[in-house]
Homo-oligomer: A and B are copies of this chain.
Amino acid sequence: MKVSLPPQTLMLTYPILIVGSYDAGGKPNIMTAAWGGIACSQPPCISVSLREATLTYHNICASGAFTVNFASEKYVREADFVGMVSGRDTDKFNVAQLTPVKSKQVNAPFVDEFPLSLECKLFKKIPLGSHTMFVGEIMGIVSDQNILGQNGAPDVGKAHPFVWGSSPKMGYYSLGEPVGFGFSSGKEIQHQ
């Protein structure tokens, strides 16, 4: 049976986007966001939506750059932690024992321990309401070599990512088995 729910930000799964930035003094900060995703193929862009109350919001406005980092399962505690506290009163890289590395492409730090980082230049800033969307052009990518598959792209079987899943306990979930394949599973219907 279908039921109607009030307007709210519901999906079944959300990405865990860990945003790196420098403040005006060059101090690195990271925070976890779940509002965002790829925004454009050419130029390649990713969007992250942030509240003005966050330090990251002001860092990106000033620096014009940020990174989006993706953690592997063994860093789920760190990913959660950097979304819980503010960089205004906590040196999150230091407390979480993560290593900021200055991107060669943009004025922002990436997280050395995480397997994949997108190096972004601020492309558009779009106020929407409680959140402002920062669209970043992906100027470069830093990846752990050992997560890459034969096609040169990351392989989740090696990178062990996790997503945030909608559930009463607000769980972070690893990936399970493949249940289908892109531009492949649908052929069973196409050729019926």
- Of the four ranges (under 10, 10 to 19, 20 to 34, 35 or more), the interface on chain A belongs to 35 or more
On A, residues with C-beta under 8 Å from B are: 1-15, 34-47, 49, 70, 73, 76-85, 95-96, 104, 112, 115-116, 118, 123-124, 126, 128-131, 133, 135, 137-146, 148-157, 159, 161-190, 192
Cβ-defined partner of A181 (8 Å) among B73, B137, B172, B182: B172
Given contacts A129-B40, A171-B181, contact A154 B9 (CB under 8 A): no
Cβ–Cβ contact B166 & A154, under 8 A: yes
Cβ–Cβ contact B13 & A186, under 8 A: no
> Inside 8 A of A9's CB, which chain B residues have their CB?
38, 40-41, 44-46, 138
Q: Which 6 A-B pairs have the closest CB atoms?
A: A81-B186, A37-B37, A80-B186, A170-B182, A12-B161, A171-B178
Cβ–Cβ contact B13 & A175, under 8 A: yes
How many angstroms between the C-alpha atoms of A40 and B83 in the bound complex?
17
Quick one: closest B residue to A192, CB to CB?
A: B95
A98 to chain B, nearest CB (A): 10
Cβ–Cβ contact B11 & A38, under 8 A: yes
Given contacts A44-B7, A44-B9, contact A173 B172 (CB under 8 A): no
How many angstroms between the C-alpha atoms of A89 and B183 in the bound complex?
18
